[in-house]
């Protein structure tokens, strides 16, 4: 008599192991893309804010621009010789222990 192995339950067990792993990978990929997009917006916001301050706009206006473009971001403005620099940091929207996003941009102050 030849005995055959019964593999009927193995597909269900493999499926139960693979599905959570695939869902986790998709979630992490989507979160990474979202964080990358936020980083680009943050860089654009600090560049615009640095140009505004270099043209003589107020620091409140520059902070409002950063907040409008990049959302809730802490903004710091400082001068470095003839350059005016804007630095902004924002928290990552992923539930992982990652450092905050940071962007710095400088513009020639134009004789301020």
- 2-34 tens-digit pLDDT: 555 666 667 778 888 889 999 989 988 888 888
pLDDT at residue 105 tops 90: yes
Best CA proximity match to 73, nearest among 54, 53, 45: 45
The answer to whether 112 and 55 are in contact (CB under 8 A) is no
- pTM for this structure? 0.74
């Amino acid at each position: 008599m030849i005995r055959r192995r019964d593999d009927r339950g193995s597909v269900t067990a493999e499926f139960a192991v693979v599905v959570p792993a695939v869902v986790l990978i998709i979630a992490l990929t989507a979160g990474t893309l979202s964080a990358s997009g936020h980083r680009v917006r943050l860089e654009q916001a600090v560049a615009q804010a640095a140009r505004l301050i270099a043209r003589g706009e107020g620091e409140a206006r520059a902070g409002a621009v950063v907040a409008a473009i990049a959302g809730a971001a802490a903004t710091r403005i400082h001068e470095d010789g003839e350059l005016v620099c804007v630095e902004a940091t924002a928290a990552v929207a992923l539930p992982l222990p990652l450092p905050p996003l940071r962007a710095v941009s400088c513009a020639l102050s134009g004789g301020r």
